[in-house]
A and B are shown apart, each in its own frame.
Chain A
Amino acid sequence: MKSSIRIMLAATALVAAPPLLAHGVAAGALAIGHPWSRETAPGQKAGGGFLTITNKGKTEDRLLSATSPAAADVQIHMMKVEDGVMRMRQVTGGLAIPAGGTLELKPGGYHIMFMGLKKPFKQGDMIPATLAFARQGKVAVRFKVQPIASTAPMEGGHGGH
Chain B
Amino acid sequence: MADIEGGTPPMVVVRRILWVLVAVAAVFGVILAVGGGDGSKSAPAASAGAAIGGPFTLTAADGSTLTDRTLKGRPFAIFFGFTRCPDVCPTSLARMAQLREQLGPDGMKFDIVFVSVDPQHDRPADIGSYVALFKTPIIGATGTDAQLAQIQKEYGVYVRKVPIEGGDYTVDHTAAIYLMDKDGHFVTTIDYHENDKTALEKLKRIIA
Contact = CB atoms under 8 A, between A and B. Distances in A.
A97 interface: no
A90 B87 contact: no
Interface in A72-129: 72-73, 75, 77, 79, 81, 83-90, 107-108, 111, 113, 115-118
Contacts of B121: 45
A134 interface: no
Nearest to B123: A43
A73 B98 CA distance: 32
B126 A85 contact: no
B45 interface: yes
A7 interface: no
B14 to A, nearest CB: 20
Interface size class of B (residues with CB under 8 A): 35 or more
B94 A44 contact: no
Contacts of B4: 45, 72, 116-118
B198 to A, nearest CB: 15
Centre residue among B121, B133, B166, B192 by max chain A CB count within 10 A = B133
A159 interface: no
B130 A41 contact: yes
Nearest to B5: A116
B158 A85 contact: yes
B67 interface: no
B60 to A, nearest CB: 15
Interface stretch (B70-78, B102-110, B172-180): B172-180
Nearest to B122: A43
B129 A45 contact: no
B193 to A, nearest CB: 7
| A contact face: mostly helix, strand, loop, or mixed | strand
Interface in B78-98: 81, 83-88, 90-91, 94, 97-98
B132 interface: yes
B172 A87 contact: yes
Given A41-B130, A117-B4, 16 more contacts: A41-B129, A44-B83, A45-B83, A46-B86, A72-B4, A79-B86, A79-B88, A84-B47, A84-B158, A85-B44, A85-B45, A85-B175, A90-B164, A115-B168, A149-B134, A151-B91
18 contacts: A38-B90, A43-B6, A43-B123, A43-B126, A48-B86, A84-B44, A84-B174, A84-B191, A85-B45, A86-B87, A88-B172, A89-B164, A111-B87, A115-B5, A147-B133, A148-B90, A149-B90, A149-B98
